[in-house]
Amino acid sequence: MNGVTPRPRVLLADDHSLMLAGLRRLVEETCEVVGAVEDGRALVEAAQRLEPDLILLDISMPLLNGIDAARQIRKLHHSAKLIFLTMHTSPSYVTEAFHVGASGYLLKRSAPMELPLAIEAVLKGQQYLTPSITKPVLAQTMEREEAPAIKGSVVELTPRQREVLQLIGEGKGTKAIASLLHVSVKTIEFHKTCLMKQLNLHTTAELMRYAITQGLASDQP
């Protein structure tokens, strides 16, 4: 035994390869980067396989967004700490991130200065939130506790409905979604019907637009 403390094992998730490369450079001096993935489904699989101590993830990722990926990781009883690193400044994203088990939330533009502080705090069992959005988040959290969920809002959807809606928003067809989720085409058609009824929408195109406006999918190719 040489008494050297092992470095924390970190898994990176972002759909931009340049961002992944930058993150790797920021953390590899103090952490061991065990993997890097570019979509939410790959993240869930990698978290199970690699068992990292810490996961740095974006919210907007293809196939499965970071919020729902974090929810699945937590459901698998994985003990990794989660730090969201994103461009989303809306308090609703922040509160949802902590609701699904995040320990940290910071903005990409502040990563070079704040990421080392966030990692240190989170690995000590503390929480870290970018100072610039702390007050808005606290205010919205209080409002959220006082107000019921709006009927037909994305908050009311089940995790599976959110998965299906995101994939519809990304332009995936029914057969492709069924294959990705390992279910039958009829099951996906059932989910689409339920989504339309619950959200008061009538076409697949309307579902696509709704997914984009709710931030579950991007309108960029």
CA distance 215 to 95: 15
pLDDT at res. 150: 36
pLDDT at res. 148: 42
CB 198 within 8 A of CB 157: yes
Supply the DSSP string of 55-120, one letter for each residue.
EEE-S--SSS-HHHHHHHHHHTT---EEEEEES---HHHHHHHHHTT-SEEEEGGGHHHHHHHHHH
Query: Which residue type does 205 have?
Result: A
pLDDT at res. 24: 93
pLDDT at res. 209: 85
What is the rounded average pLDDT for all residues in the chain?
A: 84
The DSSP 8-state label assigned to residue 178 in this structure reads: H
pLDDT at res. 163: 87
How large is the greatest C-alpha to C-alpha distance in the chain, in angstroms?
65
Which residue reads 């533009």 in tokens? 109
Q: Which residues of the chain have pLDDT under 70?
A: 1-4, 77, 134-155, 218-221
pLDDT at res. 41: 94
- Closest by CA position to 55, among listed 113, 8, 110, 112: 8
Cβ-in-10-Å burial (0-12, 13-18, 19+) of 110 comes to: middle
Residue 69, φ and ψ in degrees, nearest 5: -65, -45
Domains of the chain: 9-144 (3.40.50.2300), 154-213 (1.10.10.10)
pLDDT at res. 146: 44
pLDDT at res. 4: 67
pLDDT at res. 149: 42
CA distances from residue 20 to 12, 33, 109, 112, 133 in whole angstroms, order as listed: 7, 11, 14, 13, 24
